[in-house]
A and B are shown apart, each in its own frame.
Chain A
Amino acid sequence: MNAVTPMKTWKTPILRLFFFALGAIPPLQNDLKNLSFIHFARWVIVRRTQFPVLSETQPREQLKYDYLIFFSNFNGTWNQYIDAFSAVLARGLNVIWRWSEKFPGSRPVTGFKRYITLVQFDTDYYYNAYPRAATNDVKAALRVHDALRDFARSSQQISPAEFDTAWRQLLVRVQPDLGSTGVAPVGT
């Protein structure tokens, strides 16, 4: 998902300050982390004079606004994503986008969706190294990998009876993380 919103230039330092705090105080990211369906997301403030100029013949942008560009790599459907954002992160989203022109707030969700629909632009090419794995799948797989490595190390020289007991303990440890990966369901 990509979205671009205009911001009055005097507002961008305030937003930068908020993002600085968000980066410097990791617990502020807990809601974003706990949603656990965003692999990567980024907010990029492009100052009105910052659009790259690569040649003297290229016309220079003459803009009144700075722009906030948002990119997100998430699992699931657009509606699930926006609904979850609105339900779980309403306060955080408002702090980020309230500086953008005509942002209606992330609740109620109808106005929020209308705004996102207006400001988003489509992706022409998208690549994902592990397209069948949601964020939770990746995290679960890493836990399983760690558990299996520990078990392999500790079970090298044990008797079959001891192995049987340790194996059952391993199963208890990994069973919440053994869901299969696959193509995401088609959303509506």
Chain B
Amino acid sequence: MSNTNGQIYGLTILSPIVQDHVLDISHAIELRQYLATLPQDHTSPFSILDSTHMARLVVMDDVVYVGAPACEEHLKSRYLVFETNFDGDLDTYLSRMAAEIGDVVDSVWKHCVGYPGVTDTGAFIAYMKRCQIDTTFFFADVNDHTVKENLKALQVQSALAHFIAHHQGLPPAELQRAFGQLLCSLDKAPLPPPGGLPSEKTPAEDRPHE
């Protein structure tokens, strides 16, 4: 089993969704409605969980019938699929989920069978591990850098491109001085927020070539 590739962990969770035939709106629909309201940018809960490279939540309604001569079969439950790619180890990540985005975790997994809540972190971790399916093959193109390192590199790339475009033809001494200032400002610059800013709010200096 290969849940890891380099320093990236690939977690796959299948949580059965509660079936209650008395409800007007099923848990699966309510869950989908909630997921549609979650922000995807720097205000996303996964931006708080800042070791997350990429994550998805999917309501899996059924398996697929591919046509005769294959047999047609169906799932008896719907499943919430949680697929995430993050830095570090599983226990730390799950503990952080419980501690830092517990309200969102509650809002999502309260629709799932046997969910114990996040108050007891040990119980939450045990529940998630019961729902975990080991990854058979995990591919990570960049597997040796953290989210923070990638964000820093992207910030440096953008700043250097901007610097080069605006300092062409300077005398060497002036260029050297300006370069020193660039390094200072890069050292002090806060990391861009994971998840990115909404497009209309992206500062012009982050789009040097547009």
Binding site for B on A (CB under 8 A): 2, 4-6, 15-16, 19, 22-23, 29, 32-33, 36, 38-46, 50-55, 58-65, 67, 69, 71, 73, 100-102, 115, 118-119, 121-133, 135, 137-142, 144-145, 148, 152, 155, 160-161, 163-164, 167, 171, 174, 177-183
13 other A-B residue contacts (CB within 8 Å) besides A44-B133, A164-B175, A180-B210 = A6-B73, A19-B136, A23-B137, A42-B137, A54-B15, A58-B113, A63-B75, A130-B150, A139-B141, A152-B183, A167-B179, A180-B161, A182-B210
Q: Is the beta-carbon distance between A180 and B208 smaller than 8 angstroms?
A: yes
Query: Closest CB of chain A to B91's CB: distance in Å?
Result: 19
Q: Is the beta-carbon distance between B161 and A121 smaller than 8 angstroms?
A: no
Instruction: Name 9 interchain pairs, CB-CB below 8 A, sorted by A.
Output: A52-B15, A54-B130, A102-B66, A127-B56, A129-B47, A129-B54, A144-B160, A167-B172, A181-B158
Bound complex: CA A34 to CA B103 (Å): 41
Known contacts: A40-B140, A55-B113, A129-B52. The answer to whether A6 contacts B161 by CB under 8 A is no
Q: Is the beta-carbon distance between B16 and A118 smaller than 8 angstroms?
A: no
Known contacts: A71-B83, A133-B154, A177-B157. The answer to whether A43 contacts B136 by CB under 8 A is yes
Binding site for A on B (CB under 8 A): 2, 8, 10, 12, 14-16, 19, 31-32, 35-36, 38, 40-41, 44, 46-47, 50, 52-61, 63-64, 66-67, 70-71, 73, 75-77, 79, 81, 83, 85, 112-114, 127, 130-131, 133-142, 145, 147, 149-154, 156-158, 160-161, 164, 171-173, 175-176, 179, 183, 194-196, 199, 207-210
Bound complex: CA A39 to CA B178 (Å): 35
Known contacts: A2-B81, A65-B71. The answer to whether A124 contacts B136 by CB under 8 A is no
Q: Looking at the complex, which one of A16, A69, A129, A180 makes contact with B207 (CB distance below 8 Å)?
A: A180
Q: Is the beta-carbon distance between A73 and B207 smaller than 8 angstroms?
A: no
Bound complex: CA A133 to CA B73 (Å): 40
Q: Which residues of B contact A128 (CB under 8 A)?
A: 40, 53-54, 195-196
Q: Is the beta-carbon distance between A39 and B142 smaller than 8 angstroms?
A: yes
Q: Looking at the complex, which one of A5, A129, A145 makes contact with B153 (CB distance below 8 Å)?
A: A145
Q: Is the beta-carbon distance between A167 and B66 smaller than 8 angstroms?
A: no
Query: Closest CB of chain A to B147's CB: distance in Å?
Result: 5
Query: Closest CB of chain B to A173's CB: distance in Å?
Result: 11
Known contacts: A124-B57, A127-B55, A171-B164. The answer to whether A52 contacts B16 by CB under 8 A is yes
Query: Closest CB of chain B to A157's CB: distance in Å?
Result: 11
Bound complex: CA A184 to CA B51 (Å): 24
Known contacts: A51-B14, A58-B113, A125-B57. The answer to whether A38 contacts B139 by CB under 8 A is yes
Q: Which residues of A contact B175 (CB under 8 A)?
A: 160, 163-164, 167
Question: By CB atoms of chain A within 10 A, which of B54, B61, B79 has the most?
Answer: B54
Q: Is the beta-carbon distance between A125 and B156 smaller than 8 angstroms?
A: no
Query: Closest CB of chain B to A84's CB: distance in Å?
Result: 14
Q: Which residues of B contact A167 (CB under 8 A)?
A: 172, 175, 179
Q: Is the beta-carbon distance between B16 and A124 smaller than 8 angstroms?
A: no
Query: Closest CB of chain A to B40's CB: distance in Å?
Result: 6
Bound complex: CA A125 to CA B36 (Å): 7
Q: Which residues of B contact A130 (CB under 8 A)?
A: 53, 147, 150-151, 154, 194, 196
Bound complex: CA A179 to CA B164 (Å): 12
Bound complex: CA A97 to CA B197 (Å): 38
Q: Is the beta-carbon distance between A4 and B64 smaller than 8 angstroms?
A: yes
Q: Is the beta-carbon distance between A178 and B196 smaller than 8 angstroms?
A: no
Q: Which residues of A contact B59 (CB under 8 A)?
A: 124
